Amino acid sequence: MTVAVLYTSRYGFTESVAQTVAVRVESAGHTATAIEAHRWTPVPEADVVVIGAPIYGGAISGGLVGCLELNLGTLLDQKLFFFLSCLNEGDKAERQLADSVPPQLMPHSSGSFYVGGRVQFDVLRWMDRQVMRKVAGIDADVDTSDPTQIDALVQAILAS
């Protein structure tokens, strides 16, 4: 089985999850590649595509949305999983993901996993610190990462 893990990451948490997923899939004897996605990134040939997206300001990045739109036909022909890194949980996280991606993709997805998030406040750019303060009410480091969701994602991929 070949697995492509497409992701965007502003401060590294989503990238670290994408790399972890790829390494765990490879350690199970499969081929996996983590690829940073930009607006014009083509989706590679793969049996499974995993889309990793952080939420900033209530939505995933425009570059990743552009990549998904550009590759919509290809993605609809492949087994697809999502993981979302954000500080929200439950219905709010699900809504943010569903509102951010092309509407055809969510019903096609084999699963969505909410892996939590991490904010290192002193590393944030000035504007991102302001958004965190005003929108999320955060002015210190936060870590809501959920390793059990990462494990569940890897198991779902391996079972597919």
pLDDT tens digits, residue range 12-67? 899 999 999 999 999 999 999 999 998 888 999 899 999 999 887 777 888 899 99
Q: Which whole-number Å values give the CA distances from 152 to 18, 50, 58, 94, 114, in the listed order? A: 14, 13, 24, 17, 10
The torsion angle over the Cα atoms of residues 139, 98, 155 and 13, rounded to 10 degrees, is -30
Which CATH number is correct for 2-159, 3.60.10.10, 2.40.50.100, 3.40.50.360, 3.40.1710.10?
3.40.50.360
Residue 140 pLDDT class (50, 70, 90 cuts)? confident
- Specify the pLDDT at position 17: 97
User: Strand ranges (DSSP E) for 40-124?
Assistant: 48-54, 79-85, 112-116, 118-119
What ranges make up the beta strands (E) of 93-139? Answer: 112-116, 118-119
Cα gap 140→95, rounded to integer Å: 25
What is the residue extent of each domain of the chain? 2-159
Residue 31 token pair: 């081929």
Query: What predicted TM-score, i.e. pTM, was given to this entire model?
Result: 0.88
